[in-house]
Amino acid sequence: MHLTEDENRTLESALAPYEDTEPVRRMASYTQHGTVSTLDHCKSVAQLSLWICRRLHLRVNTNALLVGALLHDFYLYDWHGSGWRHSYLHPERARANAVAQFGVDEPTQHVIRCHMWPLGITHVPTTKEAIVVNIADKIVSLRETVLMRRERK
């Protein structure tokens, strides 16, 4: 999956104001899956989300899509050893952090809140942006957990 130059500019333009902040840079210090940092995971989800939308010619709120993807795991703690509850609780923590740090709008909050569906059964994605990020997160997570392990062997 490769983005065009225009798509890369769109991605960089939307994410730069967030990536240049200390709280988002801190995401690089937490491991998400395998050896992948939370920040790299979220950037991969944003990239794939944009790629999906552009290839399917979906009309979306690009800012909500990309910022929601970048901040979908903005919970800012090491989840390893926190047990099964993390899977259910971290979307709300990430959403609250995104609101507190950046004042993100409701469409972006919806993307963050719903990214764990169907595991987070009470937060069903109802917008194209939330559905795409939900799917992209599953694909990227699968690659980081299963396929990258195979590649290392």
Mean pLDDT throughout 27-54? 94
The pLDDT-based confidence of 23 (bands split at 50, 70, 90) is very high
Q: Which CATH number fits the domain that encloses residue 25? A: 1.10.3210.10
The verdict on residue 49 lying in a domain is yes
DSSP E strand boundaries for 21-95:
31-33, 36-37
Which pLDDT tens digit goes with each residue over 47-106? 999 999 999 999 999 999 999 999 999 997 777 777 667 677 889 999 999 999 999 999
The verdict on residue 152 lying in a domain is no
The verdict on residue 40 lying in a domain is yes
The verdict on residue 72 lying in a domain is yes
For position 151, what pLDDT does the model report? Answer: 52
For position 148, what pLDDT does the model report? Answer: 61
The verdict on residue 153 lying in a domain is no
Give the domain extent around 23.
5-147
The verdict on residue 13 lying in a domain is yes
Nearest to 107 by CA among 125, 92, 88: 125
For position 84, what pLDDT does the model report? Answer: 66
- Tally the domains of the chain: 1
